[in-house]
Amino acid sequence: MNMIIDVLTLFPDLIDQALAYSIPARAQKAGRIDIRAHQLRTWATDRHGTVDDTPYGGGPGMILRVDVAHAALGALDHGHKAHRIMLSPDGELFDQTMAADFAAKKRLILLCGRYEGFDARIEKYVDQKVSIGSFVLSGGELAALTIIDAVTRLIPGVLGNAESLKEETFEADLTEYPQFTRPEKYKGMTVPDVLLSGHHAEIQKWRDSQRRKLAS
Ligand code: ADE
């Protein structure tokens, strides 16, 4: 097993269902990665599975309890400490470099917030706070899924052909060139002649000239 990712969330089905498709599904079936979504309520201290409470000092919404989250994090360590990541809109901005850094780790824990957020004291128990962009989601789940997707495709052996990573990527130069497939002509729009020429050196030259940087 290459890697284990544990996700702590109030909506484990959301995680499981999204990962039943495409590359992450294939990577799991191939045993390259094991992604486990855990219900945060499992670590509630009362019979009702309460995980949140009203904020001290007043204000709207509910705050996720530090004791519940801390117990959950501790339970997932299994002796070997995982890299603990908390999803939060005020975290460090996620990018391809961070994805590669995560892909090199053996174990990750992704802690998803909901409602108004976590009790601020949880920061003592996580290694990193990560945001996927300057916008506010209703919860950390979609951010966790974004990270899982980007990380999974960097794990050796996950993409069918080792070349597809090198070619299209990203990691090295963060660029991509435009691609085309049939039909050769669509509503008056044609495919660049060079791509139909069979001239590999010329095609490579054209592609290099067309490389576009990823948004940053
Ligand atoms: N939770 C809510 N918004 C988020 C964001 N932009 N990134 C990560 N986690 C979040």
Query: pLDDT class for 148, splitting at 50, 70, 90?
Result: very high
Q: Examine the pLDDT at 76 and tell me if it is beyond 90.
A: yes
Q: Does 88 sit in the ligand 1 pocket, CB within 6 Å? A: yes
Q: Examine the pLDDT at 55 and tell me if it is beyond 70.
A: yes
Domain boundaries, the chain: 3-161, 174-215
In the reported structure, the alpha carbon of residue 47 is separated from the centroid of ligand 1 by a whole-number distance in angstroms of 30
Locate 56 and state its tokens: 């001290």
Mention the CATH class of domain 174-215: mainly alpha
pLDDT given at position 164: 61
Q: Does 143 sit in the ligand 1 pocket, CB within 6 Å? A: yes
Ligand 1 atom 8 nearest Cα: 131
Q: Examine the pLDDT at 15 and tell me if it is beyond 90.
A: yes
Mutate to test the pocket of ligand 1, among 98, 122, 131, 141 (most ligand atoms within 8 A of CB): 131
Q: Examine the pLDDT at 166 and tell me if it is beyond 90.
A: no
Locate 212 and state its tokens: 């576009």
- At the topology level, CATH places domain 3-161 in Alpha/beta knot (3.40.1280)
In the reported structure, the alpha carbon of residue 91 is separated from the centroid of ligand 1 by a whole-number distance in angstroms of 8
In the reported structure, the alpha carbon of residue 205 is separated from the centroid of ligand 1 by a whole-number distance in angstroms of 40
- Give the per-residue SS3 of 23-86: HHHHHHHCCCEEEEEEEHHHHCCCCCCCCEECCCCCCCCCEECHHHHHHHHHHCCCCCCCEEEE
Locate 47 and state its tokens: 């019979």
Q: At what angle do helices 141-152 and 22-29 cross, to 10 degrees?
A: 60
Locate 209 and state its tokens: 């000239």
Whole-number average pLDDT of the chain:
92
3-state secondary structure of 195: helix
- Give the per-residue SS3 of 151-193: HHCCCCCCCCCHHHHHHHCHHHHCEECCCCCCCCEECCEECCH
